[in-house]
Amino acid sequence: MAIKDAALHALIEPVVSAMGFDLWGIDHLSQGKHSRLVIYIDHENGISVDDCADVSRQISAVFDVEDPVPGEYRLEVSSPGMDRPLFTLEQFARYAGHVVTIKLRAPFDGRRKFKGLLAGIENDEVLLQVDGEEYCFPIEGIDQARVVPQFT
């Protein structure tokens, strides 16, 4: 986790937790002068639009005081959804056996995007099975990862 993301996580997590939710992850996406800060919250009973609005108001109040994000940004609070992003080794371990997509920060074997069966984790590496091959990706090298919803 980058230092800036760790600082945001440390600021946001207590607010989300105090409201009875789990902080699933944070995406801070720079888009020129503007940026978008997406905060994913989760709960065992699911997340409603009202839950997102309530958390957004609380985080906005904290941000008004702390001002942790320079410049203009748009704050979004969301459920991770069915195609949930994966941020931590614990989340990758939890979704072992599911199909995931992974986008790497730097190319590996000439490509950055992989889709396959999440075989688990080993030390701080994510194990992915793609077309009969097993790949080990250090978590620091993963830019984005998402669970692929399966409908049966």
98: number of Cβ within 10 Å: 15
Q: Is the dihedral of CA 105, 140, 94, 132 positive or negative?
A: positive
pLDDT of residue 108: 92
Token digits of residue 14: 């207590």
SS3 of residue 102 by DSSP = strand
C-alpha span between 143 and 152 (Å, rounded): 29
pLDDT tier, 1 (very low <50, low <70, confident <90, very high otherwise): very low
Q: Can you say how many angstroms the Cα of residue 46 is from the centroid of all Cα atoms in its chain?
A: 17
Per-residue confidence (pLDDT) for residue 4, from 0 to 100: 57
**The pLDDT of residue 152:** 75
Q: Which residues contact 54 (CB under 8 A, 6 or more apart)?
A: 19
50-105 pLDDT, tens digit each: 999 999 999 999 999 988 887 888 999 999 999 999 999 999 999 999 999 999 99
Ordered by where they begin, the domains of the chain are 3-78 (3.30.300.70), 89-147 (2.30.30.100)
Tokens of 78: 């969301």
pTM score of the predicted model: 0.89
- Per residue in 59-74, pLDDT (tens digit) is 999 999 988 887 888 9
pLDDT for residue 72: 85
Mean pLDDT value across residues 3-22: 89
Q: How far apart are CA 79 and CA 89, in angstroms?
A: 19
pLDDT of the residue at 23: 97
Largest interatomic CA distance in the chain: 52
> What percentage of residues in the chain have a pLDDT greater than 70?
97
CA distance 11 to 68: 9
What is the mean pLDDT of the segment spanning 15-31? 92
Q: Is the pLDDT of residue 113 over 90?
A: yes
- Under the banding of pLDDT at 50, 70 and 90, the label for residue 2 is low
Q: Taking all residues of the chain, what is their mean pLDDT, rounded to a whole number?
A: 92
